[in-house]
Amino acid sequence: MDQLSEPCPSGPRSAGAIHVATLAPGADLPGFRTAARRLIAAGIAPDAVVWQTERLSLFGAEAAPADAPPLALPRAVTDLIPMVVPHRDPERYGLLYALLWRVTRGERALMEVASDPLVHRLHRMRKAIGRDLHKMHAFLRFRRVPGADERYVAWFEPDNHILEAAAPFFVDRFRNLRWSILTPEASAHWDGTLRFGPPGRREDVPEGDGFEAGWRDYYESTFNPARLNLDAMRAEMPRKYWRNMPETAAIPALVRAAGARAQAMIERAPTMPEKRDPVRAVERMAQDEPDSLEALNAIIARSEPLVPGATQAVLGEGPIGARIAFVGEQPGDQEDRQGRPFVGPAGQLLSRALEEAGIERSEAYLTNAVKHFKFTLRGKRRIHEKPTAGEVSHYRWWLDRELDFVAPKLVVALGATAVLALTGKQIPITRARGPAEFGRPYGGFITVHPSYLLRLPDEAAKEAAYRTFVDDLRRAQDLAA
């Protein structure tokens, strides 16, 4: 629905006058939006409006004003309207207008009152449309048109006016094909452009094609007689759709043979799985394990992000044998773009603090617990999102092997995520800040992540926290020495 504004301040109009809103047959969402805005702006109460899809009316009606401002509706209402307009119930427009009338007259939280009869009925209509869309997505079958160059056609009989709402699903799935969907009240056609036309006929759809025989063979081969449940099958796949689905022709024979096939499965002697030689398995794992930091980085670089979206894996940076290794949380936006750790705002702050603490950045090793950038998109901005414990655990083996190859004297955990990756435990930084034991050959030290300093709102607090952070780095330098 369009954006909304305040309702008309005047009281309800029409003492006895009937106002007719004429919409196109089917699901006329644009027409309903326009008519509802005009009627609301004119202050016309729901009981004074007749909604029709015919050009002629029994009532001699007044027309609503020609222009009207958009309405300012709650999100729950704007989400509901497109899912009710396709319903076949002739009262749908009147019910939706009654909802808009009440919402724009002060009942802004009406959709939260599930016990309200109007809200309850509209919710049931929305669920019906959702079920109808699911059936169309699941049970529509295209058949190739004989003699045509890669053109496909399907027949479907929806319970409601859902063709326009369902068509984009098939555009996304079969974008490279030319197809038509025929229904008793309208048709949809795709040849690179989506068009809607008049009703189709079932006779215009081929009875079958070469693909269907292979599909039936596949369906029969995957049919499990031991899990046969006719009631569940009929509930999920009503018989009205069977005649348009090639696999359903095989169902009667499969059902008849299910008992004998299931008994044969029970009587068949089980076969023992082939045993693996554990010694050879361990040897194979040892051969596959990387034998250098370069080989490990090659594996990391080839790996897909656990959470899709990252541009590339961000590898550690610094010399093998560095006295100090710094472990952060995960790459940020700039790190993901440049493929280097700690080059964004937090990394620049870390470089400044290292210099003040007397640590040469080029002589330290810098890496992250998680190797790929995880973010939430807000407009064009990629906003950092904290990794979950499961995601940290996924990358932990890489981090352990990485530090084994670098072999630092001291590892500094920058922030709680780094501590989790190095210890496997959720430990508050305020409690554990300072020297630590990570249970590894190298020493440990825990401090805050530099991004924490950037988030502090007060400049005085930010400067004090920065000085404490530099002091932590000096202590770490002394421990590594």
**Residue 294 to residues 1, 32, 207, 288, 309, Cα–Cα distance (Å):** 55, 64, 60, 14, 25
Confidence of residue 246 (pLDDT cuts 50, 70, 90): low
The two beta strands, 381-384 and 49-52, are unpaired
3-state helix, strand, coil in the chain (%, to 5): 50, 15, 40
Residue 57 has pLDDT above 50, yes or no: no
pLDDT band at 3 (very low <50, low <70, confident <90, very high): very low
Of 71-75, 221-225, 369-373, 402-406, the poorest mean pLDDT is in 221-225
Q: What is the pLDDT of residue 188?
A: 96
Contact 389, 397 (CB under 8 A): no
pLDDT at 309: 81
Inform me whether the pLDDT recorded for 403 exceeds 90.
Answer: yes
Mean pLDDT, residues 127-142 taken together: 90
The pLDDT, as a whole number, for residue 5 is 34
Q: How confident is the model at residue 350 (pLDDT cuts 50, 70, 90)?
A: very high
* Sequential DSSP letters for 294-327: HHHHHHHHHSPPSSTT-SS----BS-TT-SEEEE
Q: Bigger pLDDT: 17 or 158?
A: 158
- Could you tell me the CATH superfamily of domain 290-480? Uracil-DNA glycosylase-like domain (3.40.470.10)
Range from 2-11, 325-334, 339-348, 433-442 carrying the lowest mean pLDDT: 2-11
- pLDDT category at 243 given cuts 50, 70, 90 is low
SS (H, E, C) 324-371: EEEEECCCCHHHHHHCCCCCCHHHHHHHHHHHHHCCCHHHCEEEECCC
pLDDT bucket at 280, cuts 50 / 70 / 90: low
Q: Confirm if 133 and 27 have CB atoms less than 8 A apart.
A: no
Average pLDDT of the segment spanning 305-331: 92
C-alpha distances (whole Å) from 119 to each of 80, 124, 440 are: 10, 9, 61
Rounded to whole angstroms, the Cα distance separating 235 from 231 reads 6
Choice between 233 and 76, residue whose per-residue pLDDT is larger: 76
472, pLDDT greater than 80: yes
Q: What angle do CA 115, 120, 125 make, to 5 degrees?
A: 170
What pLDDT was estimated at residue 62?
A: 44
CA angle 219, 222, 225 (to 5 degrees): 105
The pTM of the full predicted model, rounded to 2 decimals, is 0.48
Q: How confident is the model at residue 338 (pLDDT cuts 50, 70, 90)?
A: very high
pLDDT of residue 4: 32
**Any idea which of 57-66, 196-205, 226-235, 371-380 has the lowest mean pLDDT?**
57-66
The full set of domain ranges for the chain reads 19-132, 140-204, 210-263, 290-480
What pLDDT is recorded for position 23? Answer: 94
Kindly tell me if the per-residue pLDDT of 283 is higher than 70: no
By percentage, how much of the chain surpasses pLDDT 70? 80
Contact predicate 396/440, CB 8 Å: no
pLDDT at 63: 44
Q: State the pLDDT confidence band at 215, using cuts at 50, 70 and 90.
A: low
The region of weakest confidence among 86-90, 158-162, 200-204 is: 200-204
Average pLDDT, the chain: 84
Q: Is the pLDDT score of 285 beyond 50?
A: no
